[in-house]
Structure 1
Amino acid sequence: MRDRSRPLADWDRPELYHRVANSFALAASLLRIERDRNPAAADVLDRAAAQLGAFALLHRHLIEDQEETVALGPFVDALGGHLEMACLAPRGIALDVCHGGGESDARTCQVLGLVATEIVFNAAKYAFGPDGGAIRLDLVRDEAARLRLTVADNGRGFDLVTDGPLNGSSILSRLVDTGALILEVESSDRGTQLVATLACAP
């Protein structure tokens, strides 16, 4: 019998975490099945699977830390490993991850995971030819203590006028439109650099 002197949440939390983790795994499995059934939708489903994986990583770090904040170093390292496996290594693209450590709240890390996944996925799809290339992901805090993510590749670049600075990304567009993200883009035939500043509270 449960000890009623302790809050129900204390007893149910491990089971809740387990169920949520199982839900992430089930959703990822369903996306893989649909990808095999619908080759024409492979790009959309791969992107969705990568975003889901980023959320699963954040969830895992929140569980392990048992805190409302997330250690940025381990989270960004794990996110980089996830992106390498999900969309870079199969294309022959190397990823270098740098960060200054520290911690941040879960909401900011959620946006960070979305932004990093979207930018890296776009670079993997559009920036390189069959010989692959390299991407560098660098996370620091700016003078206002906001997280600033720089993603630079050595790919072929794109036309900021014809393709637009967000390269067709609806997720990045929504984050910029809502003020959650400040984005600076430079691109040439030597590669592309995106500097994304998260406007969330540090």
Structure 2
Amino acid sequence: MILCCPTCGNSFSSDTEDIKCDYCSSDTEILISDEELSSLDKNEIYNISEALKEKYKNDENLKYSKGIWEAREEKHRIDTANQQTQEIQNKIINHKITTGYSFDSYTITSYISIISGNVVLGTGILSEFIASIDDMLGTTSSPFEHKMEKAKTLAVEKLIIKSVSIGGNAIIGVDFNFFTLSNNMIAVSANGTSVVIEKTC
């Protein structure tokens, strides 16, 4: 069954009645019985619950507290936003990426889309000057290399974020294109295919 608090509108599933609200400690009432639940589509239960609890939001309900109700709704919005942010961060952290076209112990179940992550960075006059001297001497340019690595890292981060946003959990066939632009600028484009993979047994 689903219980609801007439004071703050907090609703939750329970196996027993007469349970205090875990938000404001007020008494709760049955919002949807077990019998009613069995006849409902699981995907619609939340929307139906939200609609049914509106009956408590009026002055005829002596237990109703507008302040507590609105505070609970705001807390719910914040908690939901934080949860969604954490879920996205976890997806980004756990996102798999390869220059190849497969992952050991995983099967590709869906090919979503070809994606790109593009970054443009300024090299700076000093970095370019050092690079030109090192070029003449045949040595490497650390400041310039660091800029390139930074641009490459940022391009990969953008690539992963784009993949997550379209429902992917991995990227295959990753490659990079580097461009030098005017005004001491460099551009890096990371390209790949966003896919969905599943762990094989």
Q: TM-score range by the shorter chain?
A: under 0.3
Which has the bigger relative contact order, CA under 8 A and spacing at least 6?
A: 2
The structure with more radius of gyration = 2
Q: Scaled by the length of structure 1, what TM-score is found?
A: 0.24
Structure with the higher helix share, 1 or 2: 1
Q: TM-score, normalised by structure 2?
A: 0.24
